Amino acid sequence: MSGQYTVQLSHGLGLIDATKTLLDLWQPGMNAAELHRSALQSGYFGTLSARRLHDMITVGFGMRYLTDEAAPARLLKPIQHVVPRAAFEQLLFLYTARAHSVLADFVREVYWPAYAAGKPAIGNDESLHFIEQAVRDGKTTTVWSPTMVKRMASNLTSCCADFGLLERGARRVRKILPFRIEPLAVTVLAYDLHDAGLGDNQLLVHPDWGLFGLERDDVLAEVRRTSLNRALIVQAAAGITRISWTFKSMEELADGITQGQL
C-alpha cells in the first residue's frame, strides 16, 4: 500500500458490479488483454466505449486482481457466489486499497479518525484538504492540476461510498456509516498475510488491518472470534500469539469456503 499517489483510482472507483462480471469471464492464466477480448465478445459491457472498457480492465481490474500471478482473482472467482455480499465486497475493498495507496491512506488517516471521533459525516472539503496536502508533500507521481485535485477528492469519497464506508448518492457531504470487518474477511486477510510469509505476531500489526479501523488488540480479538469457524486456532499468552492454520494455502482456503466448511 506504500507508494506515490496516482489518478488510476478514477478508472471505475469501487468497480463492484463490473468486477463480479469480469471474475465470471476471467479464467486462470488469462492476462488483462485476453480478458479484455473476452469482455468485448461477451456483450456485457455494450454501453461502454472500447477505450473505457480497456482502461477499466487493464488499470481498474488488472491492478487490483491480476497482480501476484493473479492471486486475488484466483481467490475471489470461486468464492464470489457462495459468500455473503458484505464479506465479498470487503475483500474487494482490501485489494482496491492495496492497489491505490491514496485510498488506503485516506481511509486510515481521515475516515477512521473521523469515525472514532464520532463525526457524523465526511465531505469533499476533508478529502480536498487531504489531496492538497499530499500534493504539497510530493506524494503524487506528478503535480496535479487544481481540476485533478478536485476530481480525486470527489473520487475518494465516492469510492468509500461504493464500499459502504460512507453513504451513497451524488453529494458533497456523506454520512459516515457503521463499518465492521466481516468474519470471513478476517479469516481471508489473516491467511493472506500468513501466506505472504508473515509470522503470527507480525500479521497482527500489519497495516492492512488499519483499513478496517483495527489495531493489534482489536485484530487479536477478531481473529479469536473467527477461530470459531475452525479455519484457524489461536493461542495467546504473555504477549505471544500462536496460530494453527487448518488450510495449507490460499487455494485450500478457497476450496474450504466453496465447500461450505466456513
Residue pLDDT, tens place only, 205-219: 999 999 999 999 999
Query: What is the band of 199 on the pLDDT scale with cuts at 50, 70, 90?
Result: very high
Residues with Cβ within 8 Å of residue 119, at least 6 apart in sequence: 176
| 106 and 170 share one domain | yes
- 48 occurs within a structural domain: no
- 38 occurs within a structural domain: no
Report the range of poorest mean pLDDT among 14-18, 196-200, 228-232. 228-232
| Entry field: residues in the chain | 262
The last residue of a domain, from among 156, 175, 194: 175
Other beta carbons less than 10 A from residue 185's beta carbon: 23
SS3 (DSSP) at 6? coil
Residue with cell 451524488: 170
Residue 141 predicted with pLDDT over 90: no
The last residue of a domain, from among 144, 175, 206: 175
Please say whether the beta carbons of 197 and 211 come within 8 A.
no
Query: What is the band of 1 on the pLDDT scale with cuts at 50, 70, 90?
Result: very low
pLDDT reported for residue 125: 94
The last residue of a domain, from among 129, 152, 175: 175
Residue with cell 483499513: 211
How many structural domains is the chain composed of?
A: 2
pLDDT reported for residue 236: 82
Q: Percent of the chain scored above 90 by pLDDT?
A: 85
- 233 occurs within a structural domain: yes
pTM of the model: 0.95
∠ at Cα 217 (215, 219), nearest 5°? 65
Mean pLDDT of the chain: 94
| 136 and 201 share one domain | no
| 194 and 145 share one domain | no
Q: Percent of the chain scored above 70 by pLDDT?
A: 99
Domain span at residue 113 reads: 101-175
Query: What is the band of 71 on the pLDDT scale with cuts at 50, 70, 90?
Result: very high
- 41 occurs within a structural domain: no
Residue pLDDT, tens place only, 36-55: 999 999 999 988 888 899 99
- 201 occurs within a structural domain: yes
- H-helix or E-strand containing 217? helix 216-226
Residues with Cβ within 8 Å of residue 94, at least 6 apart in sequence: 185, 189, 208, 211
| 254 and 188 share one domain | yes
- 165 occurs within a structural domain: yes
pLDDT reported for residue 17: 95
Q: State mean pLDDT over 122-131.
A: 96
Q: State mean pLDDT over 66-95.
A: 97
Q: How far apart are the first and last CA of the chain?
A: 28
